[in-house]
């Protein structure tokens, strides 16, 4: 199923609507919302996707007519069964994933909660992990086979927000 996404410039100004397939094929920058679930021991929830790679707690494309926050809340509910909680925005960043044409602008949110019912069509499993240890392991994943490319960019932002020296 192809849907439309919001095509943006490097300053997050809207340039128009394009199909997701076109955005990915032509390297058009578009929006993604990311949510990190954290616990009281400073761990983050890691998602193992159905393709076997590790990723953010929850994330997804921002739909046309939707804000980053609305998309973050939708993805959190769809993927992890979590709703009705406040999300704190911690920043944004951009990436070119896997050295290919795909270009995403991420807005990153965080909350303290536990996952609910996982969506088996998207999420194989989840687990809590130390984000500093995950960051260290990511440095050995040069071909994005273990970790999703966007996860690497947003985890760095997440750790810098916590004032962790990288």
Mean residue pLDDT across the chain? 91
Sign of the Cα torsion 83, 84, 90, 93 reads positive
Among 111, 117, 30, 119, which residue's Cα sits nearest to residue 73?
111
Q: Which ranges constitute the DSSP H helices of the chain? A: 20-26, 68-80, 131-138, 149-161
Measured CA to CA, the distance from residue 157 to residue 155 in angstroms comes to 5
Given a contact cutoff of 8 angstroms between Cβ atoms, the answer to whether 44 and 37 are in contact is yes
**3 or 96: which leads in pLDDT:** 3
- What pLDDT shows up at residue 67? 97
- What pLDDT shows up at residue 117? 94
- What pLDDT shows up at residue 97? 58
Measured CA to CA, the distance from residue 47 to residue 92 in angstroms comes to 20
- What pLDDT shows up at residue 15? 96
Among 50, 143, 52, 111, which residue's Cα sits nearest to residue 152?
143
Name the band, by pLDDT with cuts 50, 70 and 90, for residue 141. confident
Average pLDDT over residues 28-56: 95
- What pLDDT shows up at residue 138? 92
Express as a percent the part of the chain with pLDDT over 90: 78
Name the band, by pLDDT with cuts 50, 70 and 90, for residue 2. confident
């Amino acid at each position: 199923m192809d849907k439309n996404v919001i095509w943006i410039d490097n300053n997050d100004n809207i340039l128009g609507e394009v199909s997701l397939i076109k955005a990915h094929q032509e390297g058009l920058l578009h929006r993604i919302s990311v949510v990190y679930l954290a616990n009281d021991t400073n761990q983050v929830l890691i998602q193992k996707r159905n393709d076997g790679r590790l990723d953010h707690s929850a994330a997804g494309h921002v739909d046309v007519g939707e804000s980053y926050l609305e998309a973050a809340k939708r993805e959190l509910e769809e993927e992890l069964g979590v709703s009705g909680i406040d999300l704190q925005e911690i920043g944004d960043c951009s990436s070119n994933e896997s050295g290919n044409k795909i270009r995403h602008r991420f807005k990153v949110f965080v909350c303290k909660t536990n996952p609910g019912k996982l969506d088996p069509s998207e999420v194989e499993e989840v687990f809590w992990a130390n984000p500093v240890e995950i960051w260290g392991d990511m440095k050995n994943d040069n071909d994005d086979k273990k970790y999703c490319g966007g996860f690497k960019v947003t985890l760095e932002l997440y750790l810098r927000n916590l004032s962790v020296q990288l």
